[in-house]
Each structure stands twice: as structure tokens, then as C-alpha cells.
Amino acid sequence: MNSNFLQTPIVYLKGVGPNRAELLRSELGIESFQDLLQLYPNRYLDKTQYYKIAQLKDSGADVQILGKIVHLKTIEQKRGKRLVASFVDDTGQMELVWFRGQKWIKENIKLNEPYVIFGRINRYGGTFSMPHPEMELLKAHQAGLKISMQPIYPSTEKLSNSGITNRVVSKLIEQLFLETKANFEETLPQELISELQLISKADALLNIHFPKSQGLLAKAQFRLKFEELFYVQLQLLNKKAVRKQKIKGLAFDQVGNTFNDFFQNHLPFQLTNAQKRVIKEIRNDLGSSAQMNRLLQGDVGSGKTIVALMCMLLAIDNGYQACLMAPTEILANQHFNGLKELLGEMDITIEILTGSVKKAVRKGIHERLENGGLNILVGTHALLEDKVQFKNLGLAVIDEQHRFGVAQRSKLWRKNQVPPHILVMTATPIPRTLAMSLYGDLDISVIDELPPGRKPIKTVHRYDANRLKVFQFIKDEIKKGRQVYIVYPLIQESEALDYKDLMDGYESIARDFPLPDYQISIVHGKMKAEDKDYEMERFVKGKTQIMVATTVIEVGVNVPNASVMIIESAERFGLSQLHQLRGRVGRGAEQSFCILMTSHKLSSDAKTRLETMVRTNDGFEIAEVDLKLRGPGDLMGTQQSGLLNLKIADIVKDNQILKSARYYAITLLKEDPKMAKQENSSIRQAYINLTKDKAIWGYIS
């Protein structure tokens, strides 16, 4: 079947028409024959067995029965009426009941003819009944496509209310198979099909919609999942290869005085082996003639900033400028101050550009950027403005990339004739499975060890009943000169409730930690920015010992003297949030603690989250658990919820299939980069159709 035929608008399928076409489009995104073909069932009902009425049990299960309707009657009830049919087989009698659509049923039902009925069984008194059964005359049932496992398709309330039931969708797909004669083009080469013992594309599509048995259904699912992930990986890998060939990069071929001076005289501590390995990977990229596009992953406190700085110094040694873009002003300021401190007395010019920089200062920065008098610029989205022009930008470092869209990233690219090298940093560990799919077009470096002298944070879970002991522990820590965070959850829907929780908490803490012995800062979303900064500043300078806050402190604040993190109602936080908050302590040489406070009522997911936090400090392990609990859409935050727009595969559950698909995609491109060999013609054609119809961004938002 020619793939162009599958692009036919759905309105032209027999049984659809303009109204249904519009509903299918608006509710399920189905616009073409192909889209309907790829509306895969969520689950299946087993229709391999016919029950006798005498065998029925009160189990609430869906069953299939063969029998005849011998009698119909209408019964008046308080509201409206119901239609009841007596249904019999050779072992007994039961009732079929309709509360709506009665006129149509009355006119169309044939008495004393053999029917196959299917539906859920109820029991009233000693009589079994089936409301709104699916019904088919035995003759039609025997003539139709034999469905032993009935598919249940994704649906919406609007579709059901408009008469597009599961049965209607199933019939439309049956019609599609008749019109296409189930003749679908093969999209994988014979060699791969044989090696993996896959069933053909046509068989897979037939058995995903109309499975003959459990075994064939499993084979169909495997084949379609593998193919989907194979093509996603093929697109990502090919995109990466094409970029490396086409987009010429700036070759940083010398390691000069600036880099060496910093390495020998200004490095505040020994680099870890992981940092050395990552710098080497980046130097190899920068020294080649291709443009670097690398993701640098490292847990909170693993020393990503120093790696980024050393890469910037390489750019400066080769006559280029560098910039670092952060998602918030607090974070940009922190990066700026951190870099300045690291550079010390070195002869490097560095400035910061954010929304609150005064106009006159801004003008000076713009001028020095254009005439090359500025080496490093740190900033927020303000760096993307057209007014910001570099003399020769060589390296752009982007922090917490998932907060910047693809379009914003490409704006940075266009700041130069030759696109700068890009280094993307994230402190949100991304599970390897997700990284393979989301960032499969980036090279990935991981800093997986903490700097020496860092003690792992001790994490414990305590119930509200232990609060007095926890308060005593806080007092002991403050006596030792340490500082404490106490964080309350923030739930967007109920700002008033959050504020009340926070204030109640603050009052009870103020009672237990009275003035003048204790000073408390408070920070929450309702405060003006300058008040927040003032309170933060007091805590940073050690004027207050306790910081009571909602999650505004999640990103960026660095107070090495703070050694205790108390998280109230910890069950209301997600895993990655808990991990990020814990990363606010443990920044000094002292032993740090994270105490998770909860009530006794915990869901099983909440228990898993808390147990994971207590068990491990490894951000990657935490991210894997988080991915299993929440799924890929949620993991990257709401703006990424359309993350992987997959039709059948699930990158968490189908992790092994994903690895296998990536392996075969890599092998294929190694042997035949242009997919030009005769035996790969089916892949090439499918690839062209896919990318023509949907760039990879169709899969990855």
C-alpha cells in the first residue's frame, strides 16, 4: 500500500463524513488514514470464550454469551423508563437492559434469532442482567473479522456522547483494513526482521487491532514498539551526524596562557577524576572542526561551574568571547559572583546582564561586547535580545537547559557568522533512558563524583509526632554555629492555604526559638523582590540562624554554613524537588542533615519517594525512580509534557527495546550513513516519509 494513500484525509473513509471527521480531529488528533491506523488500543477484552448463562458468576467481568431474545417489555420508573429483554440459551435465562436509545433497539431487534452479546454482568436478586450489551447477529459475527481479543481504544467523553463509541472506532478501523486490503509497506529491512524474528509490518498492524491470540498480540506490540523507537533514534543520530558534517565549528587549537595560569595558580581545589575526564571530552570537541553540542550533567555541588569556566578560558585563549545564560536572575548573579571569585586577580573582563541592569551600564556592556573588550558575559534571557551583539562569540554555556526552548537556543547560534560551541549544563540528573531519547542528538558528559572533603548528607524521615526531638536537634546544631532551612510546600492552586501553613509554621518556630537567642528569616512568594533579597542576605551573612521558606530557595542559594534542611509535609513534594532541596545543604566541610517531616498518612508512591531519599544521595538513581513513578512527561516540568509524542512505545517500560533500537540504528548508520544501499531502501523511504511529515521536533518538544 502506497504510503501516500495513508495520508488521505479521514473524512474520505466510508462511515466517517464531515461531522465525525471534525470530532476525531479535535478529540484525538486524527486527520488522516495513517493517524487512525496508529490509534493503538489501550487494552483488550478477551473474547476467546463463550459463556453459558448457568456458568455466570457475580464478578463484574465482561463476558460473551450466545443466545436468543424471546421477549421485550418497557418498564416505567421514577425518572423515564427502561427497556428490558429476556435473553435465553439452553442452560437458563437473564435480562438485557437499556436506559437510552430504546426506540432504535425496539425497531431493530429480531426476536428468536441467535445473537452474540458482550458486556458487563450485574446481579439483582437471583437474576443476572447486562446493561447496554454489544450485540451482533450470529451470522454477522461469523462473517466479520474474527476478534478474539477485543481492542479498547483511547476515547473522550465528547466522543462517547456523540455516538463515536469503542465499537464505532473498531468498525472504522475494520473499514480502513478493507479499503487498504491490509496491504502495508514493509518499513524494516529483511535482514533485521530475520535477526530479531519480527513479524511483518502488515501482520503487526492487523494483530495490534484484531489480535487472534495473546501470543500474536505480544509479537505485534514488540514489532511496532521496536520500529517506533528505532526511527526516533535514527532521526536523532542522523541529525547529530549531519550537524557534525555540515555545521563547521570554530577550532580552538591551542591551550594557552589563560587556561594554564588558572589551572596552575588559581584552582581552589584538586579536580576530581570525573571533572578531568569531562574537560578532556570537551577539549576534544573544541579542537575538532565540528561544532560542539554537549550536555553536561552533574548533581548539585559536583563542580560543573568550574568545568564551564575552564572551557570559557579555552575560548579566550583562542581569541573568542564566551557567555553563560541562566534561567533566573538569582542564578545568574550567583554564577557571576562565583566566576569572579574563581578568576580572582586574573586579567579577564567579566560582566553580568539581566533585566535589572541600569540602562547606562547596559550601554557600556553592549559597546565592550562589540569591540571585544569583554571576555565573558553572564546573564538571563536578556542575552538573547537583538541589541546584544558579540565581536566573536566562541562558546555559549546554557544552564538548566529545559527552561529554554529550542528557538531560544538557536537565537544564540545566530549571534555569530560561525555558530558558537554550545555547552548545556543541568543539575537535574536525567535518567540514561530519557537522555538517550531527549538529548540523543547531543553528546553527553557526566560528572558522577563529588569534590573531595564533601561528606554525604545524612537523610532521615520523621513523623510529626517526633517534632520536639527534631527541634532539640536544631538547637544543638545552632549551638555549634550552624544554620538551618525549614521549607514548606507550595501548591499553586491554593496560595491562601500555603500562606496559612507557612505562617502557622513560622509562629510555632518563633515560639520554640524565641528572640533574642534566635533570629529567623522568612521568605515566600507574596513578598516584594527587595524584601526577599534583604531576608536572603541576612541569612547568607549569618545574621539569622533559621530560614523559613516556601520552595523559592530551591534553585541557587549557596550558604556553606547551612547544615540542616528540614522539609515539612515532605510527602507533598516530588522526588527531584526533594533532591534539589537537599542539595542546598552539604556545601561546607561539616556533616549536613536533611530531615523529611510527614504525617502518618502516606500513599504508597509517597513512601517510595521517602525511602529512596533516605537510601541514596545519587541523583541518577533518584531520577530513575522518579521516572518510573511519574513517567517521562512530568519529569521535565509542565512545559515539556508533550515530551515524547510516542504512539505505542513507553521509554520507561520499554527500556530494553529502546537500547536495542539504538544499537541497531547506530550499527546501520555506521555501515551505511546515507541509507543508500539497496537492502536499506525500505528504511530510507520510511525515514523520508517520517521526516517529511514530522521533523524530529514532532517527537521531542
Please tell me whether residues 464 and 404 are part of one structural domain: no
Please tell me whether residues 416 and 475 are part of one structural domain: no
In a domain, 698, yes or no: no
The answer, yes or no, to whether residue 327 has pLDDT greater than 70, is: yes
Residue 642: band (very low, low, confident or very high) from pLDDT cuts 50, 70, 90: very low
Please tell me whether residues 473 and 554 are part of one structural domain: yes
So what's the pLDDT on residue 557? 64
> Contact 29/35 with Cβ under 8 angstroms?
yes
pTM higher than 0.75, yes or no?
Answer: no
So what's the pLDDT on residue 696? 45
Q: Which of 93, 121, 146 is the last residue of a domain?
A: 146
Please tell me whether residues 520 and 385 are part of one structural domain: no
CATH of the domain at 128: 2.40.50.140
So what's the pLDDT on residue 196? 96
In a domain, 210, yes or no: no
The SS3 of residue 691 is helix
Residue 559 to residue 501: CA distance in whole angstroms: 25
> Contact 668/683 with Cβ under 8 angstroms?
yes
Beta bridge partners of 649: none
Please tell me whether residues 557 and 474 are part of one structural domain: yes
Please give the tally of structural domains in the chain. 3
Cell numbers 556553606: residue: 560
Task: Choose among 658, 625, 641, 619: nearest CA to 233.
Answer: 658
Q: Which residue has the higher pLDDT, 279 or 533?
A: 279
CATH of the domain at 364: 3.40.50.300
In a domain, 183, yes or no: no
Please tell me whether residues 281 and 395 are part of one structural domain: yes
In Å, how far from its chain's centre is CA 648?
A: 16
Task: Choose among 77, 217, 244: nearest CA to 151.
Answer: 217
The answer, yes or no, to whether residue 697 has pLDDT greater than 90, is: no
Please tell me whether residues 384 and 525 are part of one structural domain: no
User: Cell numbers at residue 449, please?
Assistant: 563524583
Amino acid in the structure at residue 170: S
Question: How many Å is the Cα radius of gyration of the chain?
Answer: 32
So what's the pLDDT on residue 146? 61
Report pLDDT digits (tens) over 381-432: 888 888 899 999 999 999 876 555 555 666 766 777 788 999 989 877 777 7
In a domain, 309, yes or no: yes
Cis peptide before 514 (omega within 30 of 0): no
So what's the pLDDT on residue 563? 93
Please tell me whether residues 419 and 277 are part of one structural domain: yes
Backbone angles phi, psi at 40, to 5 degrees: -85, 145
Please tell me whether residues 464 and 588 are part of one structural domain: yes
Please tell me whether residues 261 and 113 are part of one structural domain: no
Residue 15: band (very low, low, confident or very high) from pLDDT cuts 50, 70, 90: very high
Please tell me whether residues 362 and 484 are part of one structural domain: no
The answer, yes or no, to whether residue 465 has pLDDT greater than 70, is: yes
Q: Which of 426, 444, 474 is the last residue of a domain?
A: 426
So what's the pLDDT on residue 504? 85
Residue 70: band (very low, low, confident or very high) from pLDDT cuts 50, 70, 90: very high
Pairs from 517-520 (Cβ < 8 Å, separation ≥ 24)? 518/478, 518/545, 518/546, 519/543, 519/544, 519/545, 519/546, 520/544, 520/545, 520/546, 520/547, 520/548
Find the helix or strand (DSSP H, E) in which 166 lies. Answer: helix 166-180
User: Cell numbers at residue 535, please?
Assistant: 531576608
The answer, yes or no, to whether residue 483 has pLDDT greater than 90, is: yes
Distances in Å between the Cα of 248 and the Cα atoms of 237, 282, 550, 671 are 18, 16, 46, 24
The answer, yes or no, to whether residue 30 has pLDDT greater than 90, is: yes
Domain carrying residue 536? 458-616
